[in-house]
C-alpha cells in the first residue's frame, strides 16, 4: 500500500491564559493526532487584529507531515481548540479573545474552496502575524497561484 505524506503549514495563536503553554499543548496534540511536527517558529508577540483587546497574542507557525486529508485536519484541529478551552469560533469577521486558534494555511500545493475550508488561507497574505512566523520556517515557500515567496510577501507588508 502506498501512503502519501502531505506537507501542511498551520498558524497558531493564543491571547488568553498562559499563552505559551496553550500553544505548546496545541502543538503536542497536533503531533500526537495529526502528524510529525517538522518545523516550528519562535513565539511572536502581536497585537490583536480585527478587534480591540488588552491581551496581546503569542503566534507561531508549524510545518507538519501527515497522512491525513485537509478535511480530517480541520476536524481534528477544531476538536483540539475545543478541548483546550475555545468557546466559540469567529464568525463573519467578528473576532474575540481566545485560548487557542489553529488555522490551516497550506496543504501541499492544493487549492481547496469549500464552505468549511479555504486553502490557501484566504487572509494569510495580509497578516503579518501569520507571515512572520511562517517566513521563519519556510521563507522560500510559494503559495499556490502566487509568484512571491513567503519572505517576499512579508517584506511587502512591512
| Catalytic residue status for 101 | yes
List C-alpha distances in Å: 101 to 10, 69, 88, 155.
10, 20, 10, 25
| Catalytic position from the list 103, 127, 128, 156 | 103
| Catalytic position from the list 20, 98, 108, 127 | 98
| Catalytic residue status for 103 | yes
Grid cell, residue 137, equals 520556517
127/134 Cα distance (integer angstroms): 11
| Catalytic position from the list 18, 19, 86, 97 | 86
| Catalytic position from the list 101, 108, 109, 128 | 101
| Catalytic residue status for 33 | no
| Catalytic residue status for 98 | yes
91/137 Cα distance (integer angstroms): 29
Please list, in sequence order, all residues whose beta carbon lies within 8 angstroms of the beta carbon of residue 90, skipping any fewer than 6 positions away: 96
Active site residues: 86, 98, 101, 103
Amino acid at each position: 500500500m502506498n501512503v502519501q505524506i502531505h506537507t501542511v503549514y498551520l498558524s497558531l495563536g493564543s491571547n488568553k491564559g498562559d499563552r505559551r503553554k496553550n500553544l505548546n499543548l496545541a502543538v503536542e496534540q497536533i503531533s500526537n493526532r495529526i502528524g510529525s511536527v517538522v518545523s516550528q517558529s519562535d513565539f511572536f508577540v502581536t497585537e490583536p487584529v480585527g478587534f480591540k483587546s488588552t491581551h496581546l497574542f503569542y503566534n507561531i507557525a508549524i510545518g507538519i507531515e501527515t497522512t491525513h486529508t485537509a478535511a480530517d485536519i480541520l476536524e481534528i484541529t477544531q476538536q483540539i481548540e475545543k478541548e483546550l478551552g475555545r468557546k466559540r469560533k469567529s464568525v463573519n469577521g467578528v473576532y474575540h479573545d481566545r485560548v487557542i486558534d489553529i488555522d490551516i494555511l497550506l496543504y501541499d500545493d492544493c487549492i481547496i474552496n469549500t464552505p468549511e475550508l479555504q486553502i490557501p488561507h484566504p487572509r494569510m497574505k495580509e497578516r503579518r502575524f501569520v507571515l512572520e512566523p511562517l517566513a521563519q520556517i519556510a521563507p522560500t515557500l510559494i503559495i499556490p497561484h502566487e509568484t512571491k515567496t513567503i519572505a517576499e510577501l512579508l517584506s511587502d507588508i512591512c
